[in-house]
Amino acid sequence: MNKDDILLLLRTSRSGFVSGADLAASMGVSRTAVWKHIKALEREGYRIEAIPSKGYRLTTTPDVIVVSDVKRGLRTKTVGREIVHHTVIGSTNTLAMELAQKDATDGTVVITEIQTGGKGRLGRTWISPRGNLYLSVILRPAVPVHKAPLITLMGAVALAATVREHLKVPAGIKWPNDVLVSGKKVGGLLTEMSAEPDRIRHIVLGIGVNVNMDARELPPDVRRAATTLAAETGAPIDRTSFVKELLAALDNWYQRFLQDDSEVLKAWEGLNVTLGNRVTVSGTGTRLEGLACGVDAEGRLIVELNDGRRQPVAAGDVTILKTEGPGSGSKGPG
Ligand code: BT5
């Protein structure tokens, strides 16, 4: 028995009430065990009225992701076959890496409402208050290790495409892992991997999306460069339907990646806001300046330096110096 089972019984009861005895009997546990689950739900923000002669009744549901709601009607092949939901954890990526080590199913998704130690790239922090989406997907693709960076691009394509198609918000991708709307960051991706020299054991694709949070949760310097989906659409977003669309898009793009990864690159190019611009790349020791002119088959950014040399860059932070290409994020995929 778990809290989702109790919630389902409470939500589907015709009178609204379910007696403790009925809950205990349907789930094959003691009434004390039921009471403990009710208390745990209350700690998560559910309000449950208890009337001695009638039983329990759900009066307030917090805005949390409920796994059974996400799974309902979700027709994916790999992504979301298992979904693990928490209210608060350190980092979904860290937990997903641990679960992957313990042989979690390919496609397992870890979601949390809040992260206390959300990770960005290069040791940075991903600020993770309530109201957004923080999730990680465990993947075990049978592809060569050097193809792993394409998983980040694949995730960015899925996220940007979901924002565009589901919310009609013109999201674009800044190499390698930022999803932007009107030049501001709405989502970021962090991929971690465990591999042998010639084999990927598992990859964890972590995605953070600013959905409904109050932007004042971010410190001013971060806030200036950030936005939320709710701010861009002008209304709160239904996170459950958004996450369903996102998991479906991830699954779709992951299957395409496995079949022919050039499709992912093509879609990435169609959504990117980096190529065609003069950029600086920093963050990994060296600093380069030049024209961002392409991505190679391994997802590296190709920067044409002033002397005409073409330098592939595997990691770093891109600053766009001057927009020379048409539009910034208004192009469609592929
Ligand atoms: C990223 O790093 O953009 C990767 C973010 C990945 C977060 C997800 S959440 C689920 C999973 N579990 C994790 O622990 N992580 C992943 P990077 O490119 O290094 O950007 C980090 C920088 O973005 C920070 O230094 C801030 O300047 C800024 N930032 C931090 N939190 C932000 C937020 N909520 N919205 C916008 N910008 C933010």
Q: Which of 124, 231, 236, 230 is nearest to 177 (CA)?
A: 124
Residue 201: phi and psi, rounded to 5, are -80, -55
Alpha carbons 47 and 217: distance in angstroms, whole number? 25
For 127, the enclosing helix (H) or strand (E) is: none
CA-to-CA distance for 334 and 331, rounded, in angstroms?
9
Indicate whether 329 pLDDT > 60. no
Average pLDDT taken over every residue of the chain? 92
- Considering the four listed CATH numbers 1.10.3720.10, 3.30.70.260, 3.30.930.10, 3.20.20.70, the one that applies to the domain covering 67-270 is 3.30.930.10
| Between 46 and 111, the higher pLDDT residue | 111
Q: Which CATH architecture has domain 277-323?
A: Roll (2.30)
- Comparing 142-151, 210-219, 320-329, the range with the smallest average pLDDT is 320-329
Ligand 1 site-directed mutation target among 126, 191, 203, most atoms within 8 Å of CB = 126
- List residues near ligand 1 (CB under 6 A): 91-93, 115, 118-122, 124-127, 134-136, 177, 185, 188-190, 206-208, 210, 218, 222, 226
Q: Which of 186, 71, 173, 178 is nearest to 132 (CA)?
A: 186
What's the gap in Å between 27 CA and the centre of ligand 1?
40
Q: Measured in angstroms, how far is the CA atom of residue 206 from the centroid of ligand 1?
A: 10
Query: What is the predicted pLDDT for the residue at 2?
Result: 74
Cα 245 to Cα 186, 191, 240, 288, distances in angstroms:
17, 20, 9, 37
Condensed to tens digits (0 to 9), the pLDDT of residues 228-275 reads: 999 999 999 999 999 999 999 999 999 999 999 999 999 999 999 999
Give the pLDDT band of residue 330 (cuts 50, 70, 90).
very low
Which CATH number does the domain 3-60 belong to among 3.40.50.150, 3.40.50.300, 1.10.10.10, 3.30.300.10? Answer: 1.10.10.10
Per-residue pLDDT at 323 = 58
The DSSP output letter for 119 is B
Mean pLDDT within 288-299:
94
Alpha helices in 119-184 (DSSP H): 149-167
Residue nearest to atom 16 of ligand 1 (CA): 206
CA of 44 to the centre of ligand 1 (A): 25
90 pLDDT band (50/70/90 cuts)? Answer: very high
Rounded to the nearest 5 degrees, what angle is found at the Cα of 212, between the Cα atoms of 206 and 216?
100
